[in-house]
Amino acid sequence: MRVLLSTIGSRGDVQPLVALASELRELGQEVRMCVPPDFRDWIDSLGIPVVPIGPELRAAATGPSAASAPSVPPSAEQLRRLARATVATQFGTVAAAAEGCDVIVAATALQMAARSVAEAMGVPYVFAAYCPAVLPSPHHPPLPLPGRPPAPAAAGNRELWARDAEGFNDMFGAALNAHRASVGLAPVDDVRGHVFTDRPWLAADPTLGPWPDPADRAVFRTGAWILPDERPLSPELEAFLEAGEPPVYFGFGSMRAPRGLAQVMVESARALGRRAIVSRGWADLSPVDGEPGCLSVGEVNQQALFRRVAAVVHHGGAGTTTAAAQAGAPQVVIPQVYDQHYWAQRVRHLGIGAAHAPGVPAAGSLTSALKHTLQPDVAVRARSVAAAVRTDGARAAAQRLTASDPQKSS
């Protein structure tokens, strides 16, 4: 079997697909990936064929900081032009990447072309979400999206999901159907339903991100797709960890960050007598005062590092949240966009850390959240939850893909 794995997003979107690719190859299957060019060198080094799609994403994160970016959001017409360009790029690139493949797996909600490409080729298509709140359900509201007008305060979940579907149709419907017509496919009147299918997969840990309706068999719950990491920590990082009590890890992943955020992070740790490790990330966070008790790091084995820190302070990406939970590390989540709000509330609900207010933290508010998270009972609860986190999600997904019908009832 030849499988195309496709996504448009940051490392948190790509790495789970790499985990799935590794499991598929263990089962003797051929795998190709279609992902942003930022990750081509990494995936090439793993021996997985990769077709890059779209521009480099890191450029957007390393441009003007959030603090200095223009405050005027793009107009509706500007967003539609961007949507048309995105759909055109996807139809061309995904179709080329999928040539000769027997099944297409698309992850993240902006995969507008993958199902149409699969339909034109006559091969199965699977949509996978990494967060339960991405998928429609009367048990939770849609995730907040930038640029969407606020819904009425009294609106229920069903109305909110209907509005969400309208937003997909308004943004992508015309472009999607124009390209479908160009390859002889009938138009669709529900873009979101078309992309998500009526049997989506949920690649989230059942403890951290459970599907809200246990009786719903339409959603196949695989568990999170976790890529094992055997890389050693650097000698410098090892020496820092050995030199004192467990530090606090701070990282914002691929998110933009305002100038001075690294200093706020370090100050919050010092206020509680803790050392700090700051991950530079795509925003190139770096402390500037040169004082001892702080270390700046680049790309690192989070699975190994998180087992040796006192707490993990991060933006709330699904991958970082899962890695910290798997390691038994208490967390402070500072959500910025989309599913990060969901993960912040799950961390709070499970009692394994704190949900900081969205946006840019102040030293005082971050210190308060970190103080709560460093309490002994939170650490005990985090270790308890860690024992329940599954590590076989990618294997379960790979086994389902190699079955005769990957979309069969669960």
Say if 408 falls within a structural domain: no
Is 353 within a domain? yes
CB 269 within 8 A of CB 262: no
End-to-end CA distance of the chain: 21
Owning domain of residue 199? 2-227+391-401
In terms of Cα–Cα distance, which of 232, 240, 243, 229 is closest to 326? 229
277 shares its domain with 328: yes
The verdict on 28 and 160 lying in the same domain is yes
Global pTM?
0.92
185 and 306 in a common domain: no
Same domain, 369 and 396: no
- Map residue 210 onto helix, strand or coil: coil
Measured between alpha carbons, how far is residue 278 from residues 49, 261, 339, 410 in Å?
Answer: 33, 10, 23, 42
Q: Is residue 406, in this structure, part of any structural domain at all?
A: no
Whether 190 and 243 map to the same domain: the answer is no
353 φ, ψ (degrees, to nearest 5):
160, -160
Looking at the fold, whether 288 and 202 belong to one and the same domain comes out as: no
Does residue 407 sit within a domain? no
> Is residue 218 located within the same domain as residue 270?
no
Residue 248 within a domain: yes
Structural domains of the chain, count: 2
Task: Evaluate whether 342 touches 350 at the Cβ level (below 8 Å).
Answer: no
Strands 248-250 and 311-314 come out as: parallel
State how beta strands 311-314 and 2-7 pair.
unpaired
Does 165 lie in the same domain as 51? yes
Same domain, 356 and 376: yes
| pLDDT tens series, the chain, 410 aa | 999 999 998 899 999 999 999 999 999 999 999 999 999 999 999 999 999 998 887 775 554 444 444 445 667 777 778 888 999 999 999 999 999 999 999 998 889 999 999 999 999 999 999 999 999 999 999 998 766 667 777 889 999 999 999 999 999 999 999 999 999 999 999 999 999 999 999 999 999 999 999 889 999 999 999 999 999 999 999 999 999 999 999 998 877 777 788 889 999 999 999 999 999 877 777 776 667 899 999 999 999 999 999 999 999 999 999 999 999 999 999 999 899 999 999 999 999 999 999 988 999 999 999 999 999 999 999 999 999 999 999 999 999 999 866 766 44
User: 76: domain CATH number?
Assistant: 3.40.50.2000
* Any domain includes 410: no
Same domain, 243 and 284: yes
Let me know whether 299 and 275 are in one domain.
yes
pLDDT digits (tens, 9 = 90+) for 227-243: 999 999 999 999 999 99
User: Does residue 204 share a domain with residue 253?
Assistant: no
The answer to whether residue 352 sits within a structural domain is yes
Domain contains 64: yes
